Structure 1
Amino acid sequence: MKRTASVVLDGYGIPESLRWHGGALWFSDLARGTVHRWSGEGKAETIVEVPGRAGGLGWLPDGRLLVVSMDGGVVYRLESDGRLAVHVDLRDIAGGPVNDMLVDQHGNAYVGNFGFDYYTYQREHPNSMLYVPPGPPRTPIASVSPTGTITGLTEPLYFPNGCLLTPDGRSLIVAETLAMRLTVLPVQPDGTLGRPREWAGLIAPWMWRLLNHPGLPGTITRRVSALLDHPAIAKRSSSPIAPDGIAWHSDTETIWVANALRGECVRVAVGGRILDRVSTSQNTLSCLVAGRDGRTLYAATVPTDDPVEAADLGGGRIEIFRL
């Protein structure tokens, strides 16, 4: 039986990019373009409104906030006077909205993007149709120096999303949402990223082969998958898992995954073994293990990830579960 999270904040568009900084929870609202800080009591404080919809968050060593402008194609830097300055421009390399971001302790940033206009595609097609050969577009993660210079690009990945650094800082783990896997890349001495390899597969290999098959088996699989996309059916399923945000468990060996396909956070071990599940009230886009004692699982949940619908609905939530 799954354990269930409790709602602590409500009324947002698409809460995302959960971070713990300065003893408080921070998050973006992708639908309304705002960044928020929550102390754990009362309402969350609005820190800044970002042109082009706020995305991934991080901090430079001197404490200045970095925040992605998804539609603007840039990362902004929030200066001490409240002004937003362009930290890096990614429009020449991003094939779609710029998305999540990890900033390390030295100020190096790793920034992903959708790779294509996902929202327009989603409004017109079932997600399973993305896998008609040659499959969904791939796109790199950009490595950005603390001064805002692009220092390198990874090999193209399937919708690179939430990221984690390993405790020793030598590798970066990224959620490849559309590949339904976690992928690990070595961090090079210059801060760029090396060749990717799978850390954990979150779809059965036989199902992945069928989903991408160019012939009749693939056509049938994609059509069946489109039927199973219905929320009433999807929420009763346990596989596959489309990883969005990811977070280390307190053991720093296993990883919590926000499952964008249904209302849950799933804890997985290297190789993909499922260790634990926590139910949420809606599809989950981000998760974080933090809090004053580091034992609270936070989850950002939404009734829809379409930013236009979500902004009107205002049904985005922050939920928590005590581990």
Structure 2
Amino acid sequence: MKRTASIALSGLGVPESLRWHQGALWFSDLARGTVHRWDGTAEPETVLEVPGRAGGLGWLPDGRLLVVSMDGGRVYRLEADGELAEHADLSHVVGGPLNDMLVDPEGRAYVGNFGFDFHAFSRKHPNSMLYVPPGPPRTPIACLAPDGSLLGLSEPLLFPNGTLLSADGRSVIVAETLGMRLTVFSRNPDGSLGDPEPWAPLISPLLWRLVNHRGVVGRVTRRISALLDHPVLSKYSSSLIAPDGISWDADDTSIWVANALRGECVRIAPGGRVLDRVATSQRTLSCLVAGHDGRTLFAGTVPTDDPVRAGELNRGRIEIVRPCGRT
């Protein structure tokens, strides 16, 4: 039986990039451009406001916070004196808003981006229309050295989003939201990324071929998919998983995926087998297994991922399942 998350915080815009740091939950609000810290006992604290909308979060080894400026195409660094300094300018290497970010223990950062103006497209078209050949543009992950200099770019991906480091530090797993898959990269000694390989497909190979088909079959498949993505119908369907934020489970082997198309978090084994599902009240953009017990599942949920509309609705939520273990 699918478990259901409970609502812990509400009245937010777009809670994203959930992180656990020094005994508290941290997250960005993509609609308001703010970074928040919540210790679980009161209202979340607003830590800072980021020019160009706050996105991915991480910390350097000395404790300074790194935060993505989505629309500014930059990564900022919060100095010890409270000043916000530019850590890296990536505006020249990305095709759309910057997005999530992983910062490894050495301070190297891996920054994804949309690749195009996704929200402008989705305001006019159903998501399935993105797959009209030649499909959505691909875009790389930017790999940054601890000082913010560019180490290199990965092979282009379909909307690189949530990112994880393997326990041994030798590889990086990336959620390709529009590719509906998890992809793994080996890491070179300097921290740059090697060639991508599949970690887990999250859509059947047949449906992937149909939705990308150039002929009549593709047009019909995309129209049916657009109908099933309607909010009234999508809550009854769990067939599609568009991975947004991702988190290691407490077993350090399987990965929890925030399904951007549905109100759920899904636990995935290597290779793509679904191990567990947790229902949330709305579409889920970020998830994290952490907390004082190390086994609480946090989920950032929204009625819409459009930051303008979400900022008007103020219905973003942090939802939790405690503890989150094997069923």
Q: Tell whether the structures are fold-level matches, with TM greater than 0.5.
A: yes
Whole-angstrom distance in 1 between the partners of 2:124 and 2:15 = 24
Whole-angstrom distance in 1 between the partners of 2:230 and 2:291 = 34
Residues 89-136 of structure 1: CA deviation (Å, up to 9, x unaligned)? 000011000000000000000000000000100001111010011110
Whole-angstrom distance in 1 between the partners of 2:91 and 2:18 = 24
Q: Cα offset for 1:235?
A: 1.1
CA RMSD for the aligned pairs? Answer: 0.5
Give the match's secondary structure for 1:305: coil
Give the match's secondary structure for 1:194: strand
In structure 2, give the amino acid aligned to 1:246. I
Whole-angstrom distance in 1 between the partners of 2:36 and 2:160 = 24
In structure 1, give the amino acid aligned to 2:140. P
1:106 alignment counterpart = 106
Q: Cα offset for 1:228?
A: 1.1
TM-score with structure 2 setting the length: 0.98
In structure 2, give the amino acid aligned to 1:165. L
1:89 alignment counterpart = 89
Whole-angstrom distance in 1 between the partners of 2:182 and 2:315 = 28
Give the match's secondary structure for 1:178: coil
TM-score with structure 1 setting the length: 0.99
Give the match's secondary structure for 2:123: helix
Q: Which runs of 5+ in 1 are unaligned?
A: none
1:146 partnered with 2:182: no
Whole-angstrom distance in 2 between the partners of 1:236 and 1:33 = 32
1:297 partnered with 2:307: no
2:269 alignment counterpart = 269
2:278 alignment counterpart = 278
Q: Cα offset for 1:82?
A: 1.2
Runs of 4 or more off by more than 2 Å in structure 1? none
2:253 alignment counterpart = 253
1:187 alignment counterpart = 187
Q: Cα offset for 1:229?
A: 1.3
Whole-angstrom distance in 1 between the partners of 2:197 and 2:238 = 24
Q: Which runs of 5+ in 2 are unaligned?
A: none
2:234 alignment counterpart = 234
2:77 alignment counterpart = 77
Q: Cα offset for 1:295?
A: 1.0
Whole-angstrom distance in 2 between the partners of 1:177 and 1:313 = 24
Whole-angstrom distance in 2 between the partners of 1:159 and 1:38 = 29
Q: Cα offset for 1:32?
A: 0.2
2:124 alignment counterpart = 124
Whole-angstrom distance in 2 between the partners of 1:152 and 1:97 = 18
Q: Cα offset for 1:40?
A: 1.1
1:309 partnered with 2:309: yes
Whole-angstrom distance in 2 between the partners of 1:227 and 1:20 = 37
Q: Cα offset for 1:190?
A: 0.6
2:64 alignment counterpart = 64
Give the match's secondary structure for 2:55: strand
Percent identity of equivalent pairs: 72
Whole-angstrom distance in 2 between the partners of 1:293 and 1:309 = 35
Q: Cα offset for 1:226?
A: 1.0
Whole-angstrom distance in 2 between the partners of 1:319 and 1:238 = 19
Q: Cα offset for 1:160?
A: 0.1
